Chain A
């Protein structure tokens, strides 16, 4: 039995300990926002936060997650439903095309802003290089991160 805290709620799962966190989230817990793109930590579609750090859930065995605090895209907005500044910026700038990569993109960006609330373009490059957008919405992703950073500076908690 593995115990984890997901989006603020304690969960217990009993699955094969080698199962990647991604499939536990999707198939066992029904949290479908985290996506499968490559399965080998090359695309970032499955990015979630483990104890505040962005990780690729497809390549993280559940056995390593006992006691971990996990945030997925479903848990990024505030409990009262108020969207995270990044989510707001994504909507305001109409970032998504197909949208499939975007939960992973947002989770990578959220981790970046958490540690570095005023990122430069170079910081964004470094933090986002692991996330492929096949539709190539990179221009708007960059803009939205900057825009969310401005909102944060006005006192929006990330």
Chain B
């Protein structure tokens, strides 16, 4: 855990500090998008800003600005507006906003940032409208506005009991000037009526009846279906392919080679495109393709070679560059004088995102215009927030297709899972490149193997850890040599860099964090809680090892580190706050009955991690039988993420993250040889299923701190909690993922 915020997220926040501070309010409020203007009879409609429309019949429309990928944002962001608007939720219809960042501000799903960034601006959006409705009512009754209250889409004049509905007031409010959003009063948390309650996902009814919602469901008249074959090793080019034979196959309309884009090589890789009249025909033709690849410049990455090299490097306590060293302290000397030294080597593999909906996109080129519908996490430019991370794709359309960015319209669909995968828009660029060569709309569909073999992976990594204890069992020296990867020879791959603030270096008398980067071609990306999802495993597991070596209780040992007077002062409500950390750690332990007598073969394991501005502690109860079958019986989670927006969604995100974390640690990992990912589908990459999903009990400590997102931060603590519980149950220490490598099964 970083004592600030997670790496990628921190980079993003630093970049956008200016924007995040004043957060595009000028942009948000007051501008009415063309889309909202068109089509609705507007005579008496009240549209104080781009997000809210109140019709004279009482119908309220709230725009949902960010892509829905399963994190529940299509429900939770409109809830924030509806709360301050004091609209009755049953009056509200949620409409997906088109991609228009001039009007809606940043539109993306990533970094658990949506609630965090939009909390205040969207409250102001709602409060602006409510203020105007109250003013309209007060004018009507000739009473002071402060004698009026609102609830359930109705304004009440409290002294007289008179009431007017928002429907009745819409026309009058529409005639009023829109106040400056910064001047409108926001509610106190104790006055929230909607926020903190359990609201079902707004698309649930459509989902359970099978209505088309997802990218894969996009259909257009005359649409053709495409498949695309890329070189299994990144960087390979097409030498030759049996195109003539493929073109003769049933249902195939066309087949052609795409050279790949030189400037944006990971957005459009060289390959062979097949266009057919059904998905199946395209898949059949793809299976029959025979391509000879030129692999001169292709990746030769080998996971077995990397592992051997990293194990050698792990012998060294210090890596190539030192990321953090305690000021004016000699770490080597500190280890020499320590009464006891604990050493351990932790490691974990590459994993794909594997969202259940394989990548797809539908593109239609008409003249110099390009329309794309896709399950993407970043349909716009995110106002440049991710530029420095290399997440830039609009210029690709000009470079590859000669289509100016302003002529490209990207409509995000619901996504069948994201987990960070769909922030990288290669599938969307491929669809555009194929459609540009076809005189019809084209839906590109990846197979599962495409999806697993052409991802931006969660990077594997290795940690050589050392802890020094004094004669009282106090942690006095700490060293973390992190062996990671670089694609450019200069900076670590996405999700593979460790910050100076990574716990617990700054809490220890003498500490050092260093990094060694191995060259890598396999592309890496942001995977649910990047960095954090693996650092937690190594560091929180090792803290338990040190506690054990010191002969101290893990909970007591962990709390004593958090209580260390050296603990850095929190820089703001979104950085690590030891009081909040201690509170959730104690709560999780209490709920789990920490210290209770366990049944034979059972153990409790604890871990805490701070990421994405969220303080989260987890305790797992695990048993291991004679055949090394691991069973996670129950997990207790204590989380402080500020106030809860949607209790149902929040709880569900925590439960899903915990089970995702267990799934990934138990069984999942990729092998890479000759630059090729060996696994291709759920037979060899077998996720956790119903029989092995534990009970997950969730407790929130709510506060007035700004809310953090919850799509990611509950995942990191679970792997170390389970590993520590396995040790408690069996005395066997788990230092690598997946556990299946150590002969353990679910």
Contact = CB atoms under 8 A, between A and B. Distances in A.
B655 A136 contact: yes
Nearest to A90: B208
B28 to A, nearest CB: 27
A106 interface: yes
B278 to A, nearest CB: 4
Contacts of A134: 354-356, 416-417, 419, 660, 687
B415 interface: yes
Interface in A31-80: 31-40, 42-43, 45, 72-74, 76-77
A101 interface: yes
Contact of A125 (B70, B217, B653, B691): B691
A16 B208 contact: no
B416 A98 contact: yes
B250 interface: yes
Nearest to B448: A38
Contacts of B695: 139
B72 interface: yes
Interface in A89-137: 90-92, 94-103, 106, 124-126, 128-137
A26 interface: yes
Contacts of A95: 204
B648 interface: yes
B690 A129 contact: yes
Which residue, of B219, B281, B689, has the highest number of chain A Cβ atoms within 10 A?
B689
B681 interface: yes
Interface string B191-221: 0000000111101110111111110110100
Say what secondary structure dominates the interface of chain A.
loop
B691 A37 contact: no
Given A45-B356, A96-B207, A27 B690 contact: no
Interface string A122-158: 0011101111111111111110000000000000000
Contacts of B69: 98
A30 B653 CA distance: 32
Contacts of A87: 208-209
Contacts of B278: 15, 19, 23, 27-28
A97 B279 contact: no
A142 B414 CA distance: 24
B358 A36 contact: yes
Contacts of B448: 37-40
B208 A96 contact: yes
Interface string B54-79: 00000000000000111110000000
A103 B210 contact: yes
Contacts of B98: none
B251 A132 contact: no
B141 interface: no
A10 interface: no
Nearest to B206: A99
A117 B657 CA distance: 31
B693 A139 contact: yes
Contact of A96 (B204, B682, B686, B693): B204
A73 B210 contact: yes
Nearest to B203: A99
B652 interface: yes
A132 B656 contact: no
B688 interface: yes
B649 A100 contact: no
Interface residues of B, number: 68
A156 to B, nearest CB: 15
Contacts of B509: none
B559 to A, nearest CB: 30
A103 B217 CA distance: 13
A129 B689 CA distance: 6
Interface in B684-703: 686-691, 693, 695-696
A33 B211 contact: yes
Given A39-B447, A97-B656, A139-B693, A32 B687 contact: no
Contacts of A97: 70-72, 417, 652-653, 656
Contact of B355 (A42, A96, A98): A98
Contacts of B216: 32, 35-36
A33 B210 contact: yes
B280 A20 contact: yes
Contacts of A98: 68-70, 355-357, 414-418
B663 interface: yes
Nearest to B198: A94
B656 A32 contact: no
A131 B212 CA distance: 20
B210 A37 contact: no
A100 to B, nearest CB: 3
A87 B355 CA distance: 23
A132 B354 CA distance: 11
Contacts of B207: 90, 96, 99, 102-103
Interface in B313-362: 354-358
A16 B203 contact: no
B204 A90 contact: yes
Contacts of B415: 98
A100 B417 contact: yes
Contacts of A38: 448, 681-682
Given A27-B225, A134-B687, A142-B690, A33 B209 contact: yes
B652 A100 contact: no
A99 B213 contact: yes
B520 to A, nearest CB: 26
B460 to A, nearest CB: 21
A30 B278 CA distance: 12
Contacts of A138: 659, 689-690, 693
A73 B205 CA distance: 12
A95 B203 CA distance: 11
Which residue, of A23, A129, A141, has the highest number of chain B Cβ atoms within 10 A?
A23
A42 B682 contact: yes
A128 B690 contact: yes
20 contacts: A19-B280, A20-B280, A28-B278, A32-B216, A36-B216, A36-B358, A40-B448, A76-B209, A96-B201, A96-B203, A100-B417, A124-B690, A129-B689, A132-B682, A132-B689, A134-B416, A134-B419, A135-B656, A136-B656, A138-B689
Given A20-B280, A91-B200, 4 more contacts: A35-B214, A40-B683, A95-B204, A100-B416
10 nearest A-B residue pairs (beta carbon): A33-B210, A98-B70, A100-B416, A73-B210, A136-B659, A138-B693, A99-B207, A125-B691, A97-B70, A42-B682
